[in-house]
Amino acid sequence: MNDLFSFNSLLFGAKWVFVGLIYSVLLLVVVAVRREMSLRLGAGKVLPSTAPGSLRILARGTDPKASPGDLLPLGPVTRLGASSNNELVLQDDFISAHHARLRWDGASWWVEDLGSTNGTFVDDGQCVPHHPHPLPAGGRLRLGDRVFELVE
């Protein structure tokens, strides 16, 4: 009888293990969703202060000042667009005021289209607006009729 009683209390303890496991799933889901959100917003993390990369101009579009082959240095977060408050100002008919954003997360480059009119393309695939998209070294980035190559 005593034996059975201790088995019972063992089961009682095991019940809480079960409850704990289910709550840890919920916790993990919350953590995963938050991480995804921070990835999308580019917030929630300390960004590195320097970034190893620059854009090489492959096609300059209608801008007479740019010349193919030039290297444009990049910061950890670089906004590209026609408006003058971007880090990289691209005066062009096919480029929106706030066109795209390049981000270095410490390991790789991400590009996010900011809802531009003519879209942002990585190696001829169009980026989904407002979704970070990986940009590999040597990858071709196209905005309007401007084409760049990422050099790390």
Neighbouring residues of 149: CB distance < 8 A, sequence distance ≥ 6: 55, 56, 58, 138, 139, 140, 141
Residues contacting other proteins: total by CB under 8 A: 34
Strand, helix or coil for residue 150: strand
Nearest-approach distance from CB 131 to other proteins, in angstroms: 7
CA angle 60, 90, 58 (to 5 degrees): 25
15 counts as binding other proteins under rule CB under 8 A: yes
Nearest-approach distance from CB 8 to other proteins, in angstroms: 6
11 counts as binding other proteins under rule CB under 8 A: yes
One of 1, 43, 46, 107 touching other proteins (CB under 8 A): 107
One of 80, 127, 147, 150 touching other proteins (CB under 8 A): 127
DSSP assigned state of 144: T
- Where do we find the tokens 């010349």? 67
Q: Which of residues 27-46 bind other proteins (CB under 8 A)?
A: 28-29, 32-33, 35, 39
Which of these, 106, 105, 85, 107, lies nearest to 97 by C-alpha position? 85
- Tell me the C-alpha distance between 136 and 152, whole Å: 9
One of 1, 26, 43, 46 touching other proteins (CB under 8 A): 26
Interface map 49-78 toward other proteins (x if CB under 8 A):
------------------------------
Q: How many other C-beta atoms are found inside a 10 Å radius of the C-beta of residue 40?
A: 13
- Contacting positions for other proteins (CB under 8 A): 4, 7-8, 11-12, 14-15, 17-19, 21-26, 28-29, 32-33, 35, 39, 105-108, 122, 125-128, 131, 133-134
